Amino acid sequence: MQPRGPHPLSPRRDGAPLFVLALLLATAGALLSLQQAPEQGYPPAPYPDRVILTWSEDPATTMSVTWRTDTTVSRGVAEIADAVDGPDVVKHARRLEAATERYQTNAGAAHSHSVTFRGLQPGRAYLYRVGDGSRWSEWNQFRTAGKPGDPLTFLYLGDVQADIHALWARVIRQAFAAAPDARFIVYAGDLINNNDRDEQWGEFHAAAGFIHRMIPVLAAPGNHEYSLSDRRISPNWRPQFAFPVNGPAGLEETCYWLDIQGLRLVVLNSVERRKEQAEWLEGVLARNPARWTVVVFHHPIYSSARGRDNKEVRELWQPILDKYGVDLVLQGHDHTYARIGPTRYGDASSGNGGPVYVTSVSGAKMYEMDRPQAFQRAAEQTQLFQVVRIDGDRLSFEARTASGALYDAFQLRKRADRSNEFRDLAPQTPPRLRKAA
């Protein structure tokens, strides 16, 4: 499809003294040490850390887990058992050997260990632990995805990026409190700010804590996962995540799809090789038996931050999203909240079919909006998380603030012809904008 000229949402360009001195110096040194502690990173140790669940294969019958140790640990193992209510889980566990690889970051070398549990039952709870056979993590519990058509809940979060440990931790914890039944968490990119800073990944894992050990994570890469010099993805990405490798060659684990309880979730890499992904996306959507389809990527189709416009992403991908009836598109990058749609390529008005597009931010870095009146619901200076629930012919979406307050909501109801009836359920509260729209 040929471009249709400037897009409606394209941006506008417009003695005692010695003792006291010593005490002050000691106090200053202690304070400086405390302030520098995060910058010194989160060094690996023989005991497992950064334990995180992901899916690399069928979500109903498998679960992948990765973890990190220092390089003195050359062998990793994991144990899994059916969830039991007593302490005798060890006698029922089976053990698997991990794949171990060495990787290098600015903090030095570490070992990544990865196991995929296979042959699991849909919708069943399991216990697992990871380690080297003598030094173990705690036992953690997860539940596999259910069967197609089972009700599904998942969490979606926009950019994490800045002040991760200090100001983002409460958001992911509030999200878990709001939807403890979530089957997975999907991130729309920019999980960290500097792709080569291991300590930021340490903050990300520490802030989420046990949550990522219980609920599998899926993520799209953002531009901050890439280096500015050679456009390479973070050296932490593939060692710490085990995502599907069903995307275009060379984009493994950054572009992929999964079917989860009647939902086809497609994750795109909007940072590189966009045209190649357009061809791949068409194939994935053309052979899609799922009732619901959600697509996740970083750079928004409809930019909400001042001075931004992702024209190439829109022209390459939006006609395909329209053609195959994608229901919902989840994005990041613009550090605001913005919802628009249902809408189609070349038409920024709402109600003419097409996907609903949402851009959100969960971290502390904020931007100014450009023309918030162009969106059905918008917010600035607000950290949010989103809860998506699918039950039969109904998809319900809620955006909640860091304190848990409902800020936006809508519902899609699937008709017999697979089109959607849209209902705007946003609360009648003023928009969170720094100035009038």
Classified as helix, coil or strand, 173 is helix
Query: At 207, which helix (H) or strand (E)?
Result: helix 198-208
Count CA within 13 A, CB hemisphere, residue 195: 18
Query: At 29, which helix (H) or strand (E)?
Result: helix 16-36
CB 54 within 8 A of CB 242: yes
Please name every residue paired with 409 in a beta bridge, in sequence order, or none if there are none: 398
**Do the two domains 49-143 and 152-424 of this chain adopt the same fold?**
no
| Cα(373)–Cα(350) distance, integer angstroms | 13
| Cα(162)–Cα(382) distance, integer angstroms | 14
Q: Regarding beta strands 184-187 and 152-157, do their DSSP bridges make them parallel or antiparallel, or are they unpaired? A: parallel
* E strand residue ranges, 211-320: 217-219, 256-260, 263-267, 292-296
CB 280 within 8 A of CB 248: yes
CA separation, residue 68 to residues 71, 151, 364, 397 (Å) = 9, 34, 27, 35
- The distance from CA 295 to its chain's CA centroid, rounded to whole angstroms, is 12
Domain assignments of the chain as residue spans, ordered by start: 49-143, 152-424
Classified as helix, coil or strand, 406 is strand
CB 144 within 8 A of CB 171: no
Order of strands, sheet of 140-143, starting from the edge strand that comes earlier in the sequence: 94-97, 77-82, 125-131, 140-143
CA separation, residue 57 to residues 54, 79, 147 (Å) = 9, 19, 15
| Cα(29)–Cα(23) distance, integer angstroms | 10
Which residue is listed with tokens 């080297």?
A: 132
| Closest alpha carbon to 192 in 168, 156, 217 | 168
| Closest alpha carbon to 426 in 404, 403, 407 | 407
Which residue is listed with tokens 């993805």?
A: 233
CATH superfamily of 49-143: Purple acid phosphatase-like, N-terminal (2.60.40.380)
Arch. (CATH architecture) of 152-424: 4-Layer Sandwich (3.60)
Q: What is the pLDDT along the chain (437 residues), one digit of tens a residue?
A: 444 444 555 554 444 343 343 334 344 443 333 333 344 679 999 999 999 999 999 999 999 999 999 999 999 999 999 999 999 999 999 999 999 999 999 999 999 999 999 999 999 999 999 999 999 999 999 999 999 999 999 999 999 999 999 999 999 999 999 999 999 999 999 999 999 999 999 999 999 999 999 999 999 999 999 998 888 999 999 999 999 999 999 999 999 999 999 999 999 999 999 999 999 999 999 999 999 999 999 999 999 999 999 999 999 999 999 999 999 999 999 999 999 999 999 876 666 789 999 999 999 999 999 889 999 999 999 999 999 999 999 999 999 999 999 999 999 999 999 999 999 999 999 999 986 54
| Cα(154)–Cα(385) distance, integer angstroms | 11
CB 215 within 8 A of CB 182: yes
CA separation, residue 76 to residues 67, 72, 135 (Å) = 9, 11, 10
| Cα(241)–Cα(243) distance, integer angstroms | 6
pLDDT in tens, 303-338: 999 999 999 999 999 999 999 999 999 999 999 999
**Largest distance between two CA atoms of the chain:** 88
CA separation, residue 374 to residues 153, 259, 328, 397, 437 (Å) = 29, 33, 18, 20, 9
CB 76 within 8 A of CB 115: yes
Classified as helix, coil or strand, 383 is coil
